[in-house]
Each structure stands twice: as structure tokens, then as C-alpha cells.
Structure 1
């Protein structure tokens, strides 16, 4: 028995060493390219702030993006969904051009004011480089799946400074209702190395502050760890977060399908999308819903950071950001969905906190992670993200918000390639009303 135990431990050590050796250079490469991307994104944002007339060139920028993907994109146009498909069933491969193409086009989108995020770019950088290294290392099909998953973890963990979230996200996003832990160790190594690499390049991540509030309650002389009233408010808000995340996913698909149906000349689709963004900005008289939504363009601007403060958001800021982003991504501009989801969730949380007389900073944080959880169907990863970004004081409320939003967000999401391993609601005989009636009759209840 001792020899068997020793043999198992040696096999585990070999497994760890092998993947550490394989994944480390991949994660360093991904982290370095993500660091370059974040630097370019910050430059593009600040340059646009100083040259506001660039917004009027957004339609032209959309045509450039369209032509780049038409001439050089090929299958890279599928973006994150291509990577998820390859993890499910390797076949077509992830093209080498995906990483530079998505990096360039995302920077173009932000430089001219499109409302998009950065997670999609980081994930595609991770998938593209992981696929490249899988070929160099001559990995078999099973190891290639693991490598691609680790690439997603490295890209996501590096772009947000959340290595553990990146690890769980890469495992959880593949299929709804199922997590395959086969790639857990390589993903954890990749997420950590990717995040460390970004920090080593001197790139700083946005810091968020949530005021500490007492969430407990004294009931009949006994102290409860969570106030029942606050818990009820969190559940109600989380249900709304889930519905809004579903609305976001459907809005992006709706804009895309509408554009393809009614605009027959493909390069005119981004022209129309960019023109609508310009018109909305002129109508509102505020540029707050352009770009990433993290840094303020002017004093008093609504941003993700400002949403954590009293009066840091307008009542319908979340709806405007949802509209801007759906138009931007639905008409062919490039970037991710997650940072806009953070913006939508934080500003909606600010509004609901005001309406429910609840802690503003806490509800902004809950919206930040819960809308993301509902849209991507990754409640566990988003719970961990809440802990990594905001601290562990509210871990229980983070979990309640994320899982509630997950159930209320419907069966779909922002990634069509995401498969359904297990439905969110019970199906089959046990879910039918007749079954319940028979059980009640059997036990005479």
C-alpha cells in the first residue's frame, strides 16, 4: 500500500511539473500581450478624451474593422465562441491572426468611442496563443483542450487582476451546469502567471472601494450574521440583475439580427451603428456611455467607480450603457461584453440601493458581479470575483446575488457556443404538477 501511495504521489508530481513547464511560457506570453493591450487601451481612452472629435469618425472606424475581418479574419470573426467550440471539440483550430486582429480592432473601437469591453480581447489573445503553443509542443487532442482552457484562464485573470476568478471562469463557462476539474491545475498556474506578468510590466488595475457596513441583525436577543431584511433586498435586487443580464444578451443578438436582415450592404452596418451612437450622444449631451466606462472623461461623469458612491449614477445610466453596448457590438465593432456588464450592474445596483434604502457601495458591488454572472452563466466564478475585488466580508451576499441572478437570467447567455450540460430548472417527471399532486396524495398531505 505504501508503494502504491508513493507511486500515486510521484505521478501527481510529474503531472504538476509537466503542466507547470508547459503552461508557464504560454501564460507569460499571454500576460505580456494583455499588458500591451491594457496600455494601448488606456492610451486610446485618454487620447479620445483629449480629442472628442474622434467620435464623429466612429462610422469610418467601423468600416475599417469590417474590412480587416473580411480580408484577414476568416474564422476569427467568431471570437470567444470559436475558442469554446474548440475546447468542446478540437477541429478547425484557432487562427494565429486572432490575437493581433482582436487587439487592433478593439483599440480602434475604443479610440473612436465605441462602447465595448476588454475581456473578449484578452480571452481571444489567450486562446490564440495557447493554440499556437499547443502546436509547438505537439500536444494531443485532450491536452490541447486543457491548454486552450488554461489560455482562457490566463487571459481573463490577467486582464482584470483576478487569477482565481480566471481559473474558475475558464472551467465554468464551457458548459452550463457542469465544471470539469481536469484542467484545474493548469488553469490555476496560467491564471497566476498571467496576472503576475501583467503586474511585472507595471500595469495597474482599477481599485474599487466598498464601505464597510454591519450586515448582521439581532433577533430575540440572538445575533444573526445576516440581516433578514437586507437578505430579502439582496434577493429581490439579484432577480432584477438576472433579468437585466438576460435583456443585455437578447439586445445584442436582436441588434445583430435586425442589422443583417434590413441592411443588405454589410459595410453599411457599422456605419449605421456608429451613426446611432453619435446621435444618442448628441441627444443626451453626455459622453459617459462611450468607451470602457472606467475612467471619467469630465468631472461628475458616471463611471463604474462613481457608481459605488452616493449620487454617482443616474437612474437610467444602466439602460443607456446597455443600449450603447448592444448597438456597438451588434453592428460589428469589437471588444468584450464584461466591462460594460460591470458598468450596467454597478449603476443598476446604485439605483436599486437608492430605491431600497440599502448600502449603495454594497449594492453596486452586487450588481457588478451579479449581472456578469447572469450573462455568462458563471455564478461561482463571479462570487470569487467579488471576494478578489471587494474583499471577503460580504462573501455570503455575493454568492446569494450571483446564484439568484444566474437562475433569473434564463437559459441563454452572451456566448452561443456555451453548451447546456444541466438545465437551471428541474425537468422531467419531478417537475410536472401532476407528480407533485400524486406525492401529496400518497402521503395524505
Structure 2
């Protein structure tokens, strides 16, 4: 007769076996990913500072764009789908991620930044993680669910390592796949990978930027004695976060539209990055400052608008967030490589700086809220971004971080920078947001439904006139 104690013992033996197996599998993968990400961060910083001292490199941006185009044309091939390819392969439980993805995206991202393109680094780190994890998965002869879990772990390792946020990296890798649903079966591999990846970057003595929210005193409010939080401040946070979500929607839409328009305008695809590079050069000359080029973390000159400067009064111009949106969407929409997340941090932080003045709110707090909320809206990962807020800025304002991320998540609608995301639980229920539809398919259906509705309206109007 099998007793409850024997069943419990067998279950815990299985748990220990599962833990040991995945630790052994993930350890070498995460160390390699962390090491490659550390090299990438070092190389990227060197490239950016080299351009600081050689301003003329900006004028070669169109040439660099043509080079990137032909690298992907002849060598990269399917790798050009980037993060969307990794998400697709995780959904299909396959390992069809080419080994060349990691070196190609690393090299082309550094080229983009060396010549002044406005892009990020998260996309590169995630692709490095996914590509290396897929390679190891093939060596370990993993298939099906195991391959899917190893790919999620690779994404977690890359994300956690590049930003120094292992908890956010863990949740991001599980949350980004399907809107409204988290893949908890991959929790253990993702957590181990993100932790080891982050520790490996630290072991290589590569450091991350530290941000700080200045202390502020809440303004007195009529009902303050009845609540544990500042209700007036909470209301301001909700208003600002709705704006953050709308800007996320704007960003994702602009990248998509720029790609679509350029494909229609130019017969030869190599002309698209030339066009994008020339616009970036023209805008920089027009504005008379290089503040919106590259990552936007380090200051190229005294008084430059950067992410760290946005946390202080006077550290951003009123329209800095819009200029960065234009620069980044043009850069990515015309074929240059990198990520979207660090520019989204810049857009959110500078927008938060602007809104803090309009709403008479703490500037450092609202820069931090914009930092994580615009990212949450653009990637549809509010839980991961809440954790990121706690890891980067401390837990004192955790509730406000959550309010900001979830509000922006809803106001960004069914849009996002990753078209391969599935819709598990729609934000609103409609015919074109059916379960398990990809985000790109949902957007196509939405366009079809809008056209259909417009057609009915025109027909109805004609009948009324008759």
C-alpha cells in the first residue's frame, strides 16, 4: 500500500532531481551568455565614446546602414527577424535559431551606435541569449518542451545580464511570449539563467548605471488621514501613466508605419537605410546637438539631455521624448540594428520629467515611472517592468510602479514592438483579438475591421441621402 508519506517523498525527490538537472544544464549556458553580453557592453561603450571624439562618423551613417543591409542579405537571412524569431521558435517549441544570429546582431548593433544610430541594446542581448541557448540545446539534444524552456532561459539570461536586473529578466522572459499569460513552467530555468548571467557580467567587472529618486515630501490633502497613500499623487501618477501608454502605442505604430512606407517608396531595399541615415544627419544638424543619437545614457557634452539627467529639474527639454521617439523609430524602421528598450527608457524618463512640471509632481519619481511604464506599454510586460522598477529604484514606491506599469499597459492597447507575441487574454474583447492570435495578426484584423466598418458607414450614408 502506497502511503501519503511515500507519495510526498517521491514528489520531493522529483523536485530535487528537476532542480539539479536544470542547474547543470543552465549553468554553462548562462555563463557563456553573460560573458558575451559583458563583451558586448564593453565594446558598445567603447564605440559610443569613440564617436564622441570623432563627430564626423555620423556622416557615414548611411554607408553603415548599407553595410548592415548587405550583411543580413547575404549572411543573416532569417536572423533579421530578431526577437520575433526567438518568440516564434519558443511558441513552436523549436530550435530553428541560427548560430550566426549572436555574432551578427552584436557586430551590427555596434556599427549602428558607432555611426550615431539611435537604438538600444536589449534586442541584441536577447538575441545573443536565444541564439546561444539554441546552440547549447542542440548540443544537449533537447527537444519539445525542454528546448522551449532552454530558449526562455536564454532570453532571461540576456535580459537580466544587459540591465543588471535578474528578477525583471526572469519575469520578462516568461511574460513577453503571450499577452495576459505567464509561462510559469519555465520559472526555475529562467531564474537560474538570469541570476547567473547577471553575476557573470559583474564578475567581468562591467558595471551598470545606477539611478536615484530624490526624497520628496507629499503635499497635504483633504483625505490624507483616511488613506495609507497620497491620493492626490496617485491620481497624478494615473494621469501620467495613461500618457505613457499612449506614447508606447505611438512608438510601436511609428516603427511599423515607417517600415511599411519605406518598402513602398524604394524599389531597392539598400536605399532604405541610406534614406534613414540622411534623415538622422539632417535632424541632428537642424537641432544643433547630438543628444538624441545612440543610447542616450552618457553625456556627449556638458548639459546634454540623457537618461540620468532626466531625474533632475531642468535635465530634459519639453520635447526631448518626442525627438527621441522620432530618431529611434527612423533608425529601427529603416533597417539599423539594436534594441528598442533603452530608447524607451529615455523617452519615458524625459516624458516623465516634462509631465512632472505640468502636474507639479516629484521629478525624480515621475522620470522613474516613465522609465518603466513606457517600456511596459511597448512590450506588454507590466509585471516584469514593476520588478525592474524595484530593482533599479528601490521598493519604496513599488505600489506606484505597479500602478504606472499596468495603466500604461492598458492604454497602449493591442500594440507592441514584438509582433510575434500571442494574445492569451485580450485587454478588451473583440473579434480581432481572439485567443492565441499573434499581435501582428490582430493588428491586421483590426485594420480589416476598421475598413469594413467604414464601408458600412458609407453605404448607410448613401441610403440616407437617397
TM surpasses 0.5: yes
One of 189, 192, 203 as aligned partner of 1:189: 192
Give the aligned partner of residue 432 of structure 1. none
Deviation sequence 1:37-70 (CA, Å, 0-9, x none): 0000000010000000000000000011001001
Which residue does the alignment assign to 1:304? 307
Segments of structure 2 that go 5 or more residues without pairing to the other structure are 432-466
Count of residue pairs the alignment pairs up: 428
- Give the distance between the partners of 2:158 and 2:54, measured in 1 at CA: 30
Q: 1:414 aligns with which of 414, 417, 430?
A: 417
2:76 to 73, 78, 99: 73
Counterparts of residues 369-380 of structure 1 (less than 5 Å) = 369-380=372-383
Aligned residues of 2:94 and 2:143 also touching (Cα < 8 A): no
Structure 2 counterpart of 1:176: 179
Pick from 274, 280, 284: which aligns with 1:271?
Answer: 274
Counterpart selection for 1:355 from 358, 363, 370 = 358
Distance 1:353 1:220, change over 3 A: closer
Assess if the C-alpha contact under 8 Å between 1:115 and 1:292 holds in 2.
Answer: yes
Per-residue displacement from partner, 1:320-376 (whole Å, max 9, x unpaired)? 000000000000000000000000000000000011100000000000000000000
Taking a change above 3 Å as real, the CA distance of residues 225 and 289 of structure 1, as seen in their structure-2 partners, is same
Written as runs of structure 1 = structure 2, the 5 A alignment for 1:52-131 is 52-91=55-94, 93-131=96-134
Shift of 1:219: 5.1
How far 1:212 sits from its partner (Å)?
A: 1.9
Q: How far apart, in 1, do the equivalents of 2:182 and 2:356 lie? A: 33
Once the two structures are superposed, residues 50-104 of structure 1 have per-residue CA deviations (whole angstroms, 9 ceiling, x without a partner) of 0000000000000110010011011101000000000000347000000000000
Tell whether 2:245 aligns with 1:242.
Answer: yes
Contact 2:224–2:230 (8 Å) recurs in 1: no
Given the alignment of the two structures, is residue 283 of structure 1 paired with residue 286 of structure 2, yes or no? yes
TM-score by length of structure 2 reads 0.90
C-alpha distance in structure 1 between counterparts of 2:197 and 2:77, whole Å: 28
Q: Which residue does the alignment assign to 2:450?
A: none
Report the alpha carbon displacement of residue 141 of structure 1 after superposing the two structures with TM.
1.0
- Residue-by-residue CA offset, 1:175-216 (whole Å, 9 max, x unaligned): 001112000000000000000000000000001111122448
CA–CA distance in structure 2, aligned partners of residues 274 and 286 of structure 1: 16
Contact kept, 8 Å, 1:217 with 1:226, in 2: the verdict is no
TM-superposition CA deviations, 1:104-154 (whole Å, max 9, x none): 000000000000000000000000000000001111211000000000000
Counterpart-to-counterpart distance in 2, 1:364 and 1:220: 26
1:154 to 136, 153, 157: 157
Deviates further, 213-222 or 239-248: 213-222
Shift of 1:425: 2.1
> Residue 339 of structure 1 corresponds to which residue in structure 2?
342
Where structure 1 has 5 or more consecutive residues not aligned to the other structure, the ranges are: 429-445
**SS of equivalent to 1:171:** helix
Structure 1: distance between partners of 2:16 and 2:44 = 40
Change beyond 3 A, Cα 1:218–1:268? closer
Q: CA deviation at 1:225?
A: 2.4
* 1:327 counterpart residue number: 330
Q: Does 1:261 align with 2:255?
A: no
Q: Residues of 1 paired with 2:383 and 2:168: CA distance? A: 9
Q: CA RMSD in A?
A: 1.2
Q: Is the 8 A contact 2:105 2:338 kept in 1?
A: yes
- Cα offset, 1:222, TM superposition: 2.6
Q: Distance in 2 between matches of 1:99 and 1:225?
A: 48
* Cα shift at 1:305: 0.4
Matched-pair contact (CA < 8 Å) for 1:121–1:335: yes
Instruction: Find 1:388's aligned residue among 386, 391, 395.
Output: 391
Instruction: Name the SS for the 2:37 alignment partner.
Output: helix
SS at 1:114 equivalent: coil
Match of 1:207 in 2: 210
1:294 Cα offset (Å):
0.2
Is residue 2:5 matched to residue 1:26? no
